[in-house]
Structure formats: structure tokens, C-alpha cells
């Protein structure tokens, strides 16, 4: 079978994961790499293209509309959302690791672009796309745990070099968390949240308590609190517990590794795929007709409504019912 051609916009860490993957991309071939829409990673994109043996495109827009590339991975972090809309309008299967829209207006534009061009959006946070996260969602939604009583989540990120200039913790970690929660259970019906600066930033720590539909209770602690001396994955230290009426499950989705013993040294090597690898494989299955095209927009509307409610609850110091 001819591999499905994949184009990559941006040279962020999700794109680098393709080059670091220690196995062939099943059914896929990275054919072209272009810099992010703002152009700041041009040199890194050119280097990544050489590393992957792919063509380097100087501009992202021509690649996002190239009919020879049915799948486009946008790995340009937040500045890549412009490319997502363009690629959807061109009928692409668009892979975006994260929240492709953070407002209802942005999401409506993406939905309109997908309807207009026939494109498909695969947008998922790293928690939901991680293999451990996906299995936890499966257990929660397919009655593996019984009635889901509670979800506890803790996400601890490193303290940034300039905490006073860093993005708020809800922006850095909240989207992935809510994406996971809305997939594992549902959106919140009541929310209480406190956000404060404890480690040098203005909003580097958040505590969230929410009642979800079905009376599941969410308790979450998010913080940029790890000192530089603590080695951690790019996603930080993450632990999630799901407690049901029949069983309970605890995951640390980014800690999974095996210890490799060599003649001169030992090393811990990851044995689970990076989330973006899982997403690219899903895109290939859609492109070849092996999987149905998802409709992600209702899910992301619930995520955006949950984030809006949390921000409002934190600002008001009150309990909020999401709109």
C-alpha cells in the first residue's frame, strides 16, 4: 500500500517527535515540512525536513492546500491555528495536538471551514491522545469502572525562566485536562475555582472542584511549581485517578518507560508512543477509509464552555453554572 503523504506545519516538539520515533510510521510518510505561520522557526523547520528526508516548503499556506498531501500535521503550537482553518477549507485531515480553538467564535470558524471544504479535524490534548489516557477514557465510558464517582487530577509543570511573563496555568495545562475530563465523563454543571500566584507567576496555581453531569466529582490541582533541579517530561508530572462503583484506575500517562541495560550504561527509554504518533496513525486510518471521520465540534464546545466557567468562577470567587 502506498503510504499516505503527510505535510507538517511548524517545527515544534510534536513535529520533532516524528523524527525521534524509533519505528516506521505505519502507513504514513512525512513528505514536506514548512515553517509556522509566523515564520520564526524557519531554520528549525528546514533542519527537521532534512532530518526526515522530506521536502522543505518556504511557506505554510501552499503546503496546507497541496492536493498531494491529504494529511496535515500542524505542530506550531498556538500560532498554528490559522493554518488549521486553511487546511480544513482545503479538505485536509488536520492533526492538531491541543485545543485548535479556545473561543466559541474560533471553533465556529473551524466548523464552517470543515463544512465548506470537507476537511476533518483531529484535535486532542496530550492527555486524551496518550495511550494511557485513551485507555482510561475507554474504561470510564464503557462501564469498565462502573458508575464513575470521582476524577482526581494533578498536573505540575516546571517553573518558567520568567514566571512573571509566563502564560497562566489554566492556559498551559487546563485545556488538556478539560479535554480529557469531557471525554471521560462530561462537562461540568457546577464549578468552583481558585487561581493564585505562589511560585513567582501571577496565576501559576489553580484548584478546581466541579460537579459533572451524573454527579461525578472532579478535583484538580494545577501548578507551575517544579524547580529546575527536577527532571520531568515536557508535559510535566501528571497523575490521574478515576474511582468508580466497581473499580478504580490510576495513571501517570507520561512516566511510562523501560530500563535499558547496556554494556557501558543504563537508560530509561519510553515504550509508549508519543500522543502525536497515535494521532497521525488515526489520520492515516481515516485517509484510507479504515476509520470513520469524527465530528469533534460538540466535544470542543463542551471543553470551551467548561474553561469559560472556570475562568469566570476564579474571577468572581463564586460557584458558576456553565452556559
pLDDT at 166 over 70: yes
- The mean pLDDT of 105-119, rounded to a whole number, is 97
Q: Are 225 and 168 found together in one domain?
A: yes
- The mean pLDDT of 82-104, rounded to a whole number, is 95
39 within domain boundaries: yes
Number of compact structural domains in the chain: 2
Average pLDDT, the chain: 91
CA dihedral sign, ordered 132, 135, 141, 146: negative
pLDDT band at 157 (very low <50, low <70, confident <90, very high): very high
Cα–Cα–Cα angle for 147, 128, 166, rounded to 5 degrees: 120
Q: Which residue has the cell 501517570?
A: 252
Instruction: Give φ, ψ of 168 to 5 degrees.
Output: -60, 155
Q: Are 240 and 146 found together in one domain?
A: yes
322 within domain boundaries: no
Q: Are 187 and 312 found together in one domain?
A: yes
Complete DSSP assignment for 70-135: SEEEE-SGGGGHHHHHHHHHTT-EEEEES-S-SSHHHHHHHHHHHHHHT-EEEEE-HHHHSHHHHH
Q: Are 148 and 116 found together in one domain?
A: no
Complete DSSP assignment for 227-270: -TTS---TT-EEEEEEEESS-EEEE-TTT--EEEE-SS-EEEE-
Cβ-Cβ contacts under 8 Å for 78 (sequence gap 6 or more): none
- The mean pLDDT of 298-309, rounded to a whole number, is 96
296 within domain boundaries: no
For residue 170, the domain's CATH number is 3.30.360.10
Range of the domain at 158: 129-256+304-316
Looking at residue 263, its pLDDT comes to 57
Q: Are 251 and 160 found together in one domain?
A: yes
Say what the pTM is: 0.92
Task: Select from 104, 135, 107 the least CA-distant residue to 121.
Answer: 107
pLDDT at 272 over 80: no
Amino acid at each position: 500500500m502506498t503510504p499516505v503523504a503527510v505535510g507538517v506545519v511548524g517545527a515544534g516538539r510534536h513535529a520533532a517527535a516524528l523524527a525521534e520515533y524509533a519505528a516506521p510510521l505505519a502507513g504514513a510518510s512525512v513528505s514536506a515540512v514548512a515553517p509556522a505561520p509566523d515564520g520564526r522557526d524557519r531554520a528549525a523547520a528546514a533542519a527537521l525536513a532534512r532530518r526526515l528526508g522530506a521536502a522543505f516548503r518556504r511557506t505554510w499556506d501552499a503546503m496546507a492546500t497541496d492536493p498531494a498531501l491529504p494529511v496535515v500535521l500542524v505542530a506550531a503550537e498556538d500560532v498554528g491555528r490559522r493554518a488549521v482553518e486553511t487546511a480544513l477549507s482545503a479538505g485536509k485531515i488536520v492533526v492538531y495536538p491541543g485545543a485548535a480553538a479556545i473561543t466559541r467564535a474560533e471553533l465556529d470558524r473551524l466548523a464552517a471551514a470543515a463544512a465548506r471544504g470537507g476537511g476533518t479535524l483531529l484535535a486532542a490534548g496530550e492527555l486524551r491522545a496518550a495511550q494511557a489516557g485513551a485507555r482510561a477514557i475507554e474504561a470510564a465510558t464503557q462501564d469498565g469502572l462502573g458508575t464513575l464517582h470521582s476524577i482526581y487530577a494533578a498536573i505540575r509543570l516546571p517553573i518558567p525562566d520568567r514566571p512573571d511573563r509566563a502564560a497562566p496555568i489554566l492556559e498551559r495545562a487546563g485545556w488538556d485536562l478539560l479535554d480529557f475530563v469531557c471525554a471521560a465523563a462530561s462537562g461540568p454543571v457546577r464549578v468552583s475555582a481558585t487561581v493564585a500566584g505562589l511560585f513567582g507567576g501571577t496565576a501559576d496555581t489553580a484548584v478546581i472542584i466541579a460537579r459533572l453531569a451524573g454527579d461525578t466529582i472532579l478535583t484538580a490541582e494545577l501548578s507551575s511549581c517544579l524547580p529546575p533541579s527536577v527532571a520531568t517530561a515536557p508535559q510535566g508530572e501528571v497523575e490521574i485517578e478515576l474511582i468508580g462503583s466497581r473499580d478504580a484506575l490510576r495513571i501517570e500517562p507520561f512516566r511510562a518507560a523501560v530500563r535499558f541495560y547496556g554494556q557501558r550504561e543504563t537508560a530509561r527509554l519510553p515504550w509508549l508512543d508519543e500522543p502525536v504518533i497515535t494521532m497521525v496513525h488515526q489520520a492515516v486510518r481515516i485517509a484510507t477509509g479504515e476509520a470513520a471521520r469524527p465530528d469533534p465540534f460538540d466535544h470542543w464546545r463542551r471543553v470551551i464552555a467548561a474553561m469559560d466557567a472556570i475562568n469566570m468562577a476564579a474571577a468572581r470567587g463564586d460557584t458558576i453554572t456553565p452556559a
